[in-house]
Amino acid sequence: MVYALTINSTSFPAAKVAKISDIMNLALPLALTGAGLIFLVITLEAAFDILTHGDNPDALKKAYASITTAVLGLIIVIASFLAIQLLGAVLKTDIIPK
């Protein structure tokens, strides 16, 4: 005897994704968390370089440039998140649940 399989969200996890906003609900928090962790690691590494290479001006310039790049990257990530939120408000869909 052959049984037909039903596809629902409990037996098939991919069935939970019905629209693009569902994918965004899964991907954006992960991307923001990853960006925050990368920012933290780069900032801590640059701070350690400042503490250990305080007498070398070239190393200090490199460390300050790393901090500047990390801050600019975080600003870009936050701006893109806000742009997606604005796009969701304009299109009247909840991209990120509240």
**Whether the predicted model's global pTM rises above the 0.75 cut:** no
pLDDT digits (tens, 9 = 90+) for 55-98: 899 999 999 999 999 999 999 999 988 888 788 777 775 556 65
In this prediction, residue 13 has a pLDDT band, given cuts at 50, 70 and 90, of: low
What pLDDT score does 74 carry? 93
Q: Are 95 and 24 in contact (CB under 8 A)?
A: yes
Q: How far apart are CA 34 and CA 98, in angstroms?
A: 20
Per-residue confidence (pLDDT) for residue 8, from 0 to 100: 65
Give the residue extent of every domain in the chain: 19-90
Query: Is residue 76 packed enough to be buried (19+ CB in 10 Å), middle (13-18) or exposed (0-12)?
Result: exposed
> DSSP 3-state assignment of 3?
coil
